[in-house]
Amino acid sequence: MDYKQIFVDQYTQHIKRRGADRLLEWLIGSDFFTAPASTRFHAAYEGGLVEHSLNVYKVFMKKHFVEGEDDPESVAICTLLHDICKAGFYEVSYRNRKNEDGQWEKVPYYTINDRFPYGHGEKSVFLIERFMRLKNDEAVAIRWHMGGFDDTAKAGSFAIAHAYEQYPLAVKVHLSDLEATYLCESRNEEE
């Protein structure tokens, strides 16, 4: 399946905001379409990041979108772009592993090389806003899409609770991200 083309089609169909074209150009010039979504937790394979982004969009539209309540452009922005912080984030390394014949061979795996350690959700917000303005609810939804997995939330911050109380979009993006990660995706291509 050509996830890159599907992503570009969804993006250009729904995201019309000023600067969106330049952001898409930046994404195309990055490794966004070839990067994994993680090193080992979900979609840990080439192209996993774009596949995950599309899965989050699909889950949101199927389970959480309410006509007249949710803005289709905001939904597309938040779901398709929530993890752009992972562009330029991974690199391929190699390790030795025995193959089925008992011989050692070098196999690739992904490692993290965070060249701009700015946090997860907040880094995605920062990168998007280099090209186009986000509405408050969009910025909050992208910032807190990790929910309780976010380091700030794990440290005991109540900001996430306040965000979810004020912005239903943030809750819906988080729920869509959770379902895509744990119910729609495998850890690697072999699973």
Radius of gyration of the chain (CA): 17
Query: How much is the pLDDT for 35?
Result: 95
Mean pLDDT of the chain: 93
The residue among 155 and 70 whose pLDDT is bigger is 70
Please report, for residues 6, 16, 49, 145, the alpha-carbon distance to residue 19 in angstroms, rounded to integers and kept in the order given. Answer: 20, 8, 22, 23
Band of residue 190 on the pLDDT scale cut at 50, 70, 90: low
pLDDT at 13 over 90: yes
- The predicted-structure confidence for 102-161, as pLDDT tens digits, reads as follows 999 998 889 889 988 998 999 999 999 999 999 999 999 999 999 888 877 777 778 889
Query: How much is the pLDDT for 108?
Result: 86
Query: For the chain, which residues make up each domain, given as ranges?
Result: 3-184
In whole angstroms, give the CA distance from residue 58 to residue 154.
Answer: 28
- The predicted-structure confidence for 32-64, as pLDDT tens digits, reads as follows 999 999 998 889 899 999 999 999 999 999 999
**∠ CA(2), CA(65), CA(173), 5° rounding?**
70
Query: How much is the pLDDT for 158?
Result: 84
